[in-house]
Every structure is written in structure tokens, then in C-alpha cells.
Structure 1
Amino acid sequence: MPDPSSRRASTRPGPKSRPVRPVAPEDRVSPNEITLLRGKGTPKRGGGPGGEAWSILCGQARAGRIFINWIDEPPLGPHASIQIYLNRQSQGRGIGRVAYRLASLESQYDTIYAHMRKSNEPSKRAAAAAGYVDASPPTYSQHLMRWTRTS
């Protein structure tokens, strides 16, 4: 068996998604064009106990999914966790910013956390635009953001 320290680094791309190409300002959508359609979800995508799920619509076209799960994971323990998935053609158009805000406001939870890779700058910007603030503990391997409902 070869020595693992002598192996070359892989040239294959890692699990990171491809970067989103910048969209021209005229291709960004108006917040009025975005709506959420509540759905059932699946067990790990908003359909489990305490979960919520929505389809994201831009006009009449489906732009993606957003869901909230009730999870029990370190470093927070039990908490509401939001995740968003946008179709490739919907990315970079301002849809995520609006969807984060709408789902958070429509949710039953007063505090929601967004977990994301530290390298996922577009999601960080979208969550921040929706009112999420940095809540990452110093040693946490991901980026953690928190939204709190204001009365």
C-alpha cells in the first residue's frame, strides 16, 4: 500500500457548487414578483416534526424551495434551521433575499438559524439582507446566522 503522504492532490473539483455568474441589474427581480407557496415538504426538507416548507415562485415560475426544520445539533442544541435551494437560472437575481425574509416572517418561529459553508458568500449576503446576523461561535466550522422576530 502506498504511503498516503506521497499521494498527489486530486485534480477533481470538490463538493462546492459552481460560482454564480453576476446578473445584470436589469435582470434582478422586483421583490413584488416573489411569493411563497406553502407545501408539505419531505422528512428532511420541512416535512418532519416542527418543519415548514414553501415553493419559491417568481411570477408564475418556480424558482426553488425553502424550508425550516426543527433540529437538535451542536453548538446550539434544539433550534429552527432554514435552508434554501434556488434553481440555477434563479440565482443571483435577488430572489434568495426576498425568500429568506418571507419564509422567516411566515414561520411559526421567533428565532431561526441559517447554517451555511463559510465559502458561500451569496447565501450570507442574502440572509443578511433579510435581517439575519452573524452568530458563529469562534470554533464552529460553518457560518451561522440568526434571525429574530421583532414585534
Structure 2
Amino acid sequence: MARPTNTKRIRRATPKPPLVKAKSNLGPVSTDDIELISTTGTRDKGGGSGGEAWTVMVDGKRAGKAYINMLDDPIRGLHPSFHIFLNRQSQGRHIGRVVYKSCCSRSKYDVIYAHMRKSNIASRKAAEHAGFVDVTSQEDMQLVMVWRKPS
């Protein structure tokens, strides 16, 4: 049934998703309590050609995963890209700082990039703490940071 042409369409605001509490109340984790276990990864998460992957363990419990994939973009060409995902209860506990630094140091690559949403302040701070610096160009849609192995 066709709608009459003289009626106004009511615009409704798009509901915002509920806020998700991402940080734990448990506080920072000691570096000694974080263990990285090298793993084969999956095809798209560190298991592909040139990739590396680690399981992040805290106090013997799985806290997340970290991996390096090879990415090809028009600005940087083919390059290793680091990614980290922590379980919600592991976020906000300074685990990311240790994981960024430790994984990059253990990696076979001397130069590693990290691509993340520009709004992801926690990842940016963790990456900066590990020695990454911002190299985002005007053409990049995401924040791009780079880490170089100390000589």
C-alpha cells in the first residue's frame, strides 16, 4: 500500500549501544606474572606467510593473544603489522605495555608497524610505552605506529 505524499516521515534517533566496561578493577599486573607462549596462530592471525603468534598468559590463565601478520598497503608496501587482543578482564592492567614490548623484541623483524583505530587511546598508550611512534600519514584511515628494534 502506497503512503500518501502529504504525510511527514518521523525521524527517530538511532539508539546508541550500551556502554561496555572494559577495564578490570584488579589493578596492574607485575611483568613477572605475564607469560608469552609462542603458537602457530591461524591463517589470518599470525599463522600465514611471515606471521608470528603468541598466547598471552597471566598467572597461568589465558589473557589474550598477540600476533604479527604481513600487510601490504600503498604507503608502506609489504610490512609486518602487530595486533593484540586482551580479554575484557585483562584490559586496563598494563598487560598490553608488556606484550607490545616483549613480542616485538622476540620477533624476527627489525621494524614492526601497528595499525589501530584513532580512538583507541589505550592501545596507543601501550604502544608508545613499548617504543612505538606515530607515523600516520594523511592518506591513512587508521592510526599507524612503528617500532624499530634497538641496535
TM range (shorter): 0.7 to 0.9
User: Which residue of structure 2 lines up, in the alignment, with residue 20 of structure 1?
Assistant: 22
| Unpaired stretches in structure 1, ≥5 consecutive residues | none
Could you tell me the percent identity over the aligned residues?
A: 45
1:137 and 1:9 mapped to 2: Cα distance? 34
TM-score, normalising length from structure 1? 0.86
Mapped pair 1:54 → 2:54: yes
Residue in 2 aligned with 1:10? 14
| TM-score normalised to structure 2 length | 0.86
Decide whether the 8 Å contact of 2:56 with 2:64 is kept in 1: yes
Letter in 2 for 1:11: P
Aligned CA distance change for structure 1 residues 19 and 81 (closer, same or farther; 3 Å): farther
Q: Which amino acid aligns with 1:89?
A: Q
User: Over aligned residue pairs, what C-alpha RMSD do you find?
Assistant: 2.2
CA distance in 2, matches of 1:75, 1:128: 21
Q: How does 1:1-151 map to 2 (within 5 A)?
A: 8-13=12-17, 18=20, 20-21=22-23, 23=25, 27-151=27-151
Deviation at 1:20, TM superposition (A): 2.9
1:43-97: CA deviation from partner (whole Å, max 9, x where unpaired): 0000000000000011211110000001112321100000000011000000010
CA distance in 2, matches of 1:81, 1:108: 12
Alpha-carbon spacing, 1:34–1:78, altered in 2? closer, same or farther (3 Å): same
